[in-house]
Structure 1
Amino acid sequence: MKTFWNTNGGLTQLNQWEPNCWLQVTCPTEEERQQLEEQFSLPDYFLSDISDTDERARYEYDDGWMLIILRIPYVKEIRSRTPYTTVPLGIIHKRDVTITVCYYETNMMIDFVSYQQKRNEGFVDYVDMIFRLFLSSAVWYLKRLKQISSLIDKAKRNLDREVNNESLIGLSRLQDSLTYFITSIRGNENLLAKLKFKLQVDELDADLIEDVNIEMSQARETANIYSNILESTMDTYSSIINNNMNTIMRTLTSVSIILMFPTLIASLFGMNVINGMETSRFGFIVALVISVLVSVGSWWILRYKRLI
């Protein structure tokens, strides 16, 4: 889907492309990709790189065109293996052409457009737009991290009631998501540090970059904190599971030892040898009493040793 935006004095939608407008491309089809490459003579690998979900945050120049790939947060289905992940957002610029391409429909871009329309100021130039996209991504990382924190607390409450596989798997998936977030935020920070010296930055851009640095630093530190908390939580519950397993195995072993003595006594008296009780009418009672006394004695010893 292609959307044309006039960025002068506000963000208003256009019916077709005009010089110095912002062309927003979301989930492009193969036909739209070919139209973009033919209409603007884009380098053929630009759109292919943006479509790669594992593409790192970076920038490059080719034949006067500049490509910036920014990693932004994206939410999959909650029950997917990694419900929170990151996807590439491509920013392509050359003179009077500014294009953003994302192969996923994200809440961040929807909110970015809505917020800029409320500001009713538009963008000073393409540099201002680029850094505002950086700022929006940092803000949305913080929003997603708050959601992850809520899911962690919910899983911990479930585990406090009962240690079950579903909650543990959920925590493991959130750990994967935090790993993606931390890696992507660091990549964005490195990219921002390089772009400060590659783009034409004025005083207003410098203030905006400072805000971006603060938000990204906060997002990175928050993600690290949550990751450390989650790792500690997983280790704690792993220890609890091992301790419970040891307790169960110790109890079963103690029960096996207690039952071993009656079995041994019954085996001795049941052997086909002379033991002096073949004709005794109290033989069974004697064997039973001995078995009970030995079992009680072994239970008392194990209890005294705190083995059960």
Structure 2
Amino acid sequence: MITLYRTDDRILSEIQEYGPGAWIVMTKPTIDESKSIAERFEIDLADVRAALDDEESSRVQVEDNYTLIIVDIPSIEIRNEREAYTTIPLGIILVADCIITICAEETPVLEAFMEGKVREFSTKKRMRFMYQILYRNCTTYQYYLRVMDRRRTLIEQRIQEETEDADLIDLHELESNLVYFATSLRANGVVLDKLTRYGRIKQYPEDKELLDDVLVENKQAIEMTQIYRDIISGTRELMTTIINNRLNNAMKFLAAITIVMAVPTVISGVYGMNVGTKWMPFANVPYGFEIVCGIILVISIVIAIILKKKKMLKQ
């Protein structure tokens, strides 16, 4: 799908024809749509289709007629019947008088501009607009990172109550998401560093200031990713320790119950042997059975009190 936009008097509106200052949004374009753009702006078809490959690496490519910038942007997907985060490529092509964005799916990075959430941007100022897209990409990373940290906090709060297998899986999923983010953010950082050094890309002083802001936000996102990875690693170790501790407590409780139950089992086993009653205590005494049961009960209670003091009966 191809959609055309242009800002006039700081108002973004959809247009029907190509023209100077246009923003060409290509969302999961077909082969025919890609060919039409490639032929119209004299772009290599492979470069137009590059951002549609999930394995495409972030890079800057400067050609005679255009400049291609590919960066990774955050995306939401359903993985293992759960909402997870990953990264996908976003292609930005700067041609003579237009800017082209190419992505395999709709993304909040670009939707923020379409919905008017980003102020004071102009599709006619291509370099500044591109840096604003990159800046919005960094802030989107940071937003998703905060969402993941809130999920981790909810899992951590449930540790005191009851830890389920789903919590361990969710924690592992969050850690995997952070690995994807860290890899993509580092690759984006390389692209941003190249943009600061490329002399063939014309930049104005205010554009360089915005690029510096993008660099700062990208570094902050990288630091947030590392911090949250360390916190999740600590949370996972805490969960493992608590699970092992609960297992040890359960084993101690079962061992204590076994010790308490061993007393009546041994005594009843002795009295249950096929021997004469002459030498069996309380065998011929009135209420002998009740006396033996009372002795068993007293011994069991004494053992239970001793085990409780040693915290063996605590689950």
Which category of TM-score, normalised to the shorter sequence, fits these structures?
0.7 to 0.9
Q: Secondary structure at the match of 1:52?
A: coil
Counterpart amino acid of residue 200 in structure 1: K
1:264-288, Cα deviation, whole Å (9 max, x unpaired): 2222332334573399345644653
Shift of 1:67: 2.6
Shift of 1:87: 1.7
Shift of 1:102: 0.7
Shift of 1:101: 0.5
- C-alpha contact 1:138 1:216 (8 A) present in aligned 2: yes
Report the counterpart of residue 6 of structure 1 in structure 2.
6
Report the counterpart of residue 293 of structure 2 in structure 1.
288
Instruction: Map residues 1-308 of structure 1 onto 2, 5 A cutoff.
Output: 1-6=1-6, 10=10, 11-19=12-20, 21-40=22-41, 42-61=43-62, 65-76=66-77, 80-96=81-97, 98-115=99-116, 118-119=119-120, 121-124=122-125, 126-198=126-198, 199-274=201-276, 276-277=279-280, 280-282=283-285, 284-285=289-290, 287-308=292-313
Shift of 1:108: 1.6
Tell me the distance in 1 between the aligned counterparts of 2:237 and 2:36. 52
Provide structure 2 residue ranges, at least 5 long, that are not aligned to the other structure: none
- C-alpha contact 1:71 1:184 (8 A) present in aligned 2: yes
Tell me the distance in 1 between the aligned counterparts of 2:22 and 2:282. 110
Shifted more, 175-184 versus 246-255: the winner is 175-184
Tell me the distance in 1 between the aligned counterparts of 2:247 and 2:118. 59
Shift of 1:103: 0.9
Tell me the distance in 2 between the aligned counterparts of 1:116 and 1:273. 93
Counterpart amino acid of residue 263 in structure 1: T
Shift of 1:31: 4.1
- C-alpha contact 2:58 2:71 (8 A) present in aligned 1: yes
Shift of 1:94: 4.1
Tell me the distance in 2 between the aligned counterparts of 1:60 and 1:143. 29
- C-alpha contact 1:12 1:117 (8 A) present in aligned 2: no
Provide structure 1 residue ranges, at least 5 long, that are not aligned to the other structure: none
Shifted more, 279-288 versus 98-107: the winner is 279-288
Identity %: 29
TM-score (structure 1 length as normaliser): 0.83
Tell me the distance in 2 between the aligned counterparts of 1:279 and 1:248. 38
Q: 1:161 to 1:254 in 2, by over 3 A?
A: closer
**Greater share of residues in helix:** 1
Tell me the distance in 2 between the aligned counterparts of 1:61 and 1:185. 21
Shift of 1:219: 2.0
Tell me the distance in 1 between the aligned counterparts of 2:24 and 2:98. 8
Counterpart amino acid of residue 149 in structure 2: S
- C-alpha contact 1:116 1:122 (8 A) present in aligned 2: no
Tell me the distance in 1 between the aligned counterparts of 2:129 and 2:56. 22
In angstroms, what is the RMSD of aligned CA positions? 3.2
1:194-250, Cα deviation, whole Å (9 max, x unpaired): 122223333222111111112222222223223322322232233222212211111
- Count of residue correspondences: 307
Q: Secondary structure at the match of 1:92?
A: strand
